[in-house]
Amino acid sequence: SCISLPSRYKPADTDSRTNRHYALNFRAYTHFTSPIRRYVDVVVHRMLAHAIAEDPNPPFTTVGAGSNTGLPFTPPEETIYDRKTVELIAENCNLRKSKSKQAQDDSGRVYMALCIKACPIVRQAIVIDMGYKSFKVMLPKMGIDAQVYVDDIKAFKAQVVNAKGEKVDDSNEGSTPKSERYLSITWKQGGPPEKIGVFGGVCVKLTAKMSPPPIDIRYHVVQHGSEEEKATAAAEVKSQEKPPSLKRSDSSSMIEMADELQQ
């Protein structure tokens, strides 16, 4: 039978110890819901129908769709699945489920990019992972994780250094723990460098990337308290008085993006 896991579908093992439902004290167990929702549920329904039809003393009688005669219903032979077929069906369902989730996430990101196209926004972010060419930040108020590249920081000098202030690169990356790496940013010539480690805070500006496709969001680290941050924040406040509306060209971009995702 097919069992539903949080992330993947797979055929059940033949070992009754792994199929057993502890709370219900059942020797064998499978999970399914309405067959109009998921194809794996259709498979489970078909397999159960065959199991009931082959039982010499079935607990109840299956009746054909649209029939009120009460005569036993015999499932068609083409719906008899061997284990290999069930494995292939489960793998295909996993692929489709993954693609659907990806399309959902991409659609949300495209819509957000279109919303901030006219008015970029600034948000406080927390560094949650530190590489040496890039680092990952989390925007708590937006529930977003994003990868930011050091070379994209518009500053006089930006690099990842170790506790001694030495630049982390290919030669010493393996010997420098992430907990001992720091993002060092010198915003202007002659100014003191700003050092940010894991769980440190940075100011991030979000802008829309419309071309080349795919549509996406760009994340830029800006100096906290700078004129760029203040101007972006002021423009955001002003835009809230009249929220931006999607134009026909934006809708076309979303349709083109949807076509790309389907391919």
pLDDT tens, 160-216? 999 999 999 999 999 999 999 999 999 987 788 999 999 999 999 999 988 888 888
Q: b/e per residue, 127-143, with b = 16+ CB within 10 A?
A: beebebeebbbebeeee
Q: ∠ CA 167-169-175 to the nearest 5 degrees?
A: 95
Peptide bond into 214 cis (omega under 30): yes
- Give the residue among 179, 105, 117 at the shortest CA–CA distance from 144: 105
What pLDDT, on the 0 to 100 scale, is given for residue 61?
Answer: 55
Q: What percent of the chain has pLDDT over 70?
A: 78
Strands 157-161 and 144-149: unpaired
Domain extents in the chain:
2-81, 119-243
What pLDDT, on the 0 to 100 scale, is given for residue 262?
Answer: 46
Residue 7 predicted with pLDDT over 80: no
Please give the Cα distance from 12 to 2 (Å, whole number).
6
Q: What is the pTM of this model?
A: 0.64
- Give the residue among 196, 187, 192, 188 at the shortest CA–CA distance from 222: 187
What's the chain's average pLDDT? Answer: 81
Which CATH code for domain 119-243? 2.40.50.140
What pLDDT, on the 0 to 100 scale, is given for residue 5?
Answer: 46
Residue 109 predicted with pLDDT over 90: no
